[in-house]
A and B are shown apart, each in its own frame.
Chain A
Amino acid sequence: MALFLLGLAVIFSGGLASLLWGRKPGAADGLGAAGAVAGGVIAAVPAFRILLGAPAASLQWNWNIPYGSFYIQIDSLSAFFLIPIIGLSVIAAVYGSDYLRAYRDRKNLGVAWFFYNLLLIGMMLVVVARNGVLFLIAWETMSLASFFLVTFEYEKPMVRRAGWIYLIAMHIGTAFLIVFFLLLGRHAGSLNFDAISGVPSSLASALFLLAIVGFGTKAGFMPLHVWLPYAHPAAPSHVSAVMSGVMIKTGIYGLVRTLTILGPPQEWWCWTLIAIGAVSGIAGVLFALAQHDLKRLLAYHSVENIGIITLGLGLGLLGVNMNAPTLAVLGFAGGLFHVVNHAVFKGLLFLGAGSVIKSCGTGQIDALGGIIKRMPWTAFAFLTGSIAISGLPPLNGFASEFLIYLGVFRGDIDAGFKAAIPELAIIGGLALIGGLALACFTKAFGIIFLGHPRSEAAERAREAGWGMRAATTALAVLCVLLGLLSPLVIQSVKGPISLISGFDDELARVVLGYATRVLIGFVSVSAVLIAVTAFFAVLRRRLLRGRSVRRAPTWDCGYARPTPKMQYTASSFAQPLTDLFKIFLRSKKDVSLPEGLFPGRSHFHTDTKDVSEEYLHEPAFEWITSFLGKFKWLQHGRLQIYILYIALTLLALLIWKL
């Protein structure tokens, strides 16, 4: 525990030092990043130790705040979330120190690093807090620090708008959490998590719903996800990587921790989670497919992956509810493993996107192309991330989705779902998500990195600096390792699973053995795949040795001078699918076709707004604005009047208490 606190202190002092010396060029980057890296490494030591089997460590200081105490504990579940949080933040800090170089003469980087380190501290505290008040404080620290990071380039109107949307979304979520903790505290008489037990089922259901909205806003459940497609593109890329890779996972953590508190799960909770997961997964990837901006596309993929995680957790919970240990363990193992995997490949993709945007000056997919030749390192890393996020073997993304699939297949055979339809919906849904993700990432990688450059900016692309390259390469290596070592990695979910499911260690161990054997099968097939690929690569080389190997223009069916403009674009690539799903996507097309013998300029433009934003949030907020408008007369801007309001409120409360 001492090491953990020391780590926090180092991270904080790094941020503070960076804030103080922020005006000196270079100093801020060095101090802030060094603090995050050193502190992160120190704090990760106890987390690893506990995940490998050491007993949970805790620490409690009393506070003067009602219901509050500084009560933190690292158990296996906290440790399981701590490691990706710290790991990705450390790697992104290395990347950031290089990425922010371009802003040195324009921005006070000290502030940026201060909030980056504060965000890291907030996330770490959220997953170790064992008291409701402390949890909310950490939660707010995390939200506010990330707000200031999102609005890093506040001079741009788009960024300011993104910042406001983010701030409002976060606080709506937090409002639900405050109610959640108030109800919990009233029941248990204390807000220390371990003091809460025996929650009656009706209250538990209410708390479950509050947690879904409160934590779901952070995690990005459909339709609470509207802030993601704004905030992720606005933030600097290393911050988007952290926010999308791990910060939204604190929402998942909160939900999982809630489930450990609420007692035995009811069946409709499980199906709610599964439905949320399936809807977020499919809708997330569909909207991603229709995007033209790389970071916005990635943001929608976060919604998709959160969906997959939630689906896994829902299945696991269903296993607990139906007392089917195999289903429970496979579901939880798949969901939790996907938390780690998504952190790695989504972090990688956002960092890769950052390198592209920094080098070409734009994240518009249709303006890029052919930069694999100018940015080979970044391209290779991005390709690895794309394969992983599409859930393809032999990388890590497949390993976790595989477990979830297996949970459904197995759950049906072992426990017998009451109806065939939900099971089929899950399998069909997962397969559809997989197929659409493949379409989406062949589009992203293919259009951005392959073919001819579509703009001058893409022609001038230059490979990213060493810090950025090191970070993306490290994450790409992790994608491979987490896939090939998945039978070992999966052992780490044993502790968290026993905590959530209430199974004893022996049962969890036995069933996890089943998952391990399955993953060993996957790894051996991966080994065959790699060996066969190497064989054919060598064979191909041998065959071509000494023969004529020429380069010629792309063969466009006899047409000798193809131009970059003739290539397929991201929009045209996705068009068959976006047309097929146009009832959901409601894309707006703006077309003027070429006409006449000497056609003038023609153009084609599509814009896909978020359906839930357009039809749910905007009308709701308009109604709220007009309703609250009626109370404008209360606002005067005179301080005395406000003090009077406060005094009157206090007086009213005192009278009420008499």
Chain B
Amino acid sequence: MTILLKLLNTAAGLAFAPLLIGVINRTKAWCAGRTGPPLLQPYHDLRKLFRKGAVYSESSSWILRAGPVVGLSAVVTAATIIPFGGLPVLLSFNGDLILFAYLFGLARFFTILMALDSGSSFEGMGASREAAFSALAEPVLLLTLAVIAKYTGQISFSKIFPAIDFGYWPKAGPAFVLIGLALLIVFLAENARIPVDDPNTHLELTMIHEAMVLDHSGPDLGMIHYAAAVKMWLLGALLTQIIVPVRGGGRLADVAAALLAMMLLAAVVGLIESSMARLRLQRVPQLLVGAAALSILAAILV
């Protein structure tokens, strides 16, 4: 029974991840007064990609092919160590939150390499920016994790999440607001959303993530898109379970509440994307350093 629940925890993330993107796109369409694609469009896109053949760049090596596989595997592995909606996790140990952050590092390492493998200047540009911005986003993520660990006195997700409840608002409300903001910025930056990156611009000099995958096609591209969705799900799960820790209504209600929180997050991202422009690239580091400052401030308040 427990093992089933544990698998369910991972499976929930893997199954619902593309839905987040559907909700974001739907929200954006709604804001723009369009009908927009169906909610399940991301699933159809993935199915289409996984059915196709592939074209590879002549200059590429096996790195270009290994990149999507390693990137997807790293985020799927990360999905086995973060609990969702009070479900038990497959693997839980002290310090799993650090490993969680570093698994994204592994995915990023291979994404950057596969972009450089194509020899394209566009992909090199995307890779360079990804390396620079994520080097700044990583400290923010770990600092916020440190604040949470300090607050709860625990260093494992399975013990941290149960330790957080709405009782924190009177106790450490300001700190949690700051953490929430910092995590939201990390969420937007790491998932290539506005105001850091624009997922809709394929061919502009401003792009980051989309530029790195120009030479991938078929199942490889499918894996990349799916990995991006799962990554968004995982970082979103981290954010929502800290900020809106709804709990205590029985297992089913808890999971449903967590799902609802995720969809709300997606809607918020949709609203942000509809109401903001992308920042100039030179401003992005300032945003990320600002996020680091927020989490440091939070640590002092906790």
Chain A positions within 8 Å of B, measured between CB atoms, are: 369-370, 372-373, 383, 387, 390-393, 398, 402, 405-406, 408-410, 412-413, 420-421, 423-424, 427-432, 434-436, 438-439, 441-443, 445-447, 450-452, 514, 517-518, 520-522, 524-525, 528-529, 532-533, 535-537, 540, 543-544, 547-557, 562, 564, 566-568, 572-577, 580
Contact = CB atoms under 8 A, between A and B. Distances in A.
Contacts of B214: 555, 557
B117 A446 contact: yes
Interface in B103-158: 103, 105-106, 108-109, 112-113, 116-122, 124-125, 127-129, 131-139, 141-143, 146, 149-150, 153-155
Contacts of A439: 131-132, 135
Interface of B: 50, 52-61, 63, 65-66, 68-70, 72-74, 76-77, 80-81, 90-96, 98-99, 101-103, 105-106, 108-109, 112-113, 116-122, 124-125, 127-129, 131-139, 141-143, 146, 149-150, 153-155, 203, 214-215, 218-220, 223, 281, 285, 292, 296, 299-300, 302
Contacts of A540: 65, 68-69, 219-220, 223
Contacts, number: 273
Contacts of B92: 521
Contacts of B90: 528
Contact of A552 (B56, B66, B68, B134): B56
B139 A392 contact: no
Contact of B56 (A441, A547, A551): A551
A432 B219 contact: no
Contact of B142 (A431, A521, A552, A554): A431
Contacts of B105: 390-392, 434-435, 438
A398 B99 CA distance: 9
B223 A536 contact: yes
Nearest to B10: A528
B141 A553 contact: no
B91 to A, nearest CB: 6
Contact of A393 (B93, B103, B116): B103
Contacts of B58: 551-554
| 5 shortest interchain CB distances as A-B pairs | A568-B124, A521-B93, A435-B135, A446-B116, A451-B119
Given A372-B61, A446-B116, A533-B69, A424 B299 contact: yes
Contact of A412 (B70, B94, B150): B150
A536 B150 contact: no
Nearest to B295: A424
Contact of A387 (B94, B106, B281): B106
B113 A431 contact: no
A556 B220 contact: no
Given A409-B149, A443-B131, A553-B58, A529 B125 contact: no
B57 A370 contact: no
Given A439-B135, A452-B119, A550-B55, A413 B150 contact: yes
A428 B145 CA distance: 11
B155 A536 contact: no
A436 B80 contact: no
12 contacts: A409-B95, A409-B149, A423-B299, A431-B139, A431-B142, A434-B105, A446-B112, A518-B93, A524-B93, A548-B53, A553-B58, A576-B128
A431 B132 contact: no
A420 B223 CA distance: 41
Given A372-B63, A522-B99, A543-B219, A431 B143 contact: yes
Given A450-B113, A550-B53, A432 B138 contact: yes
A572 B124 contact: yes
Contacts of B91: 521, 524-525, 528
Given A402-B95, A555-B120, A536 B73 contact: yes
A432 to B, nearest CB: 5
Nearest to A514: B94
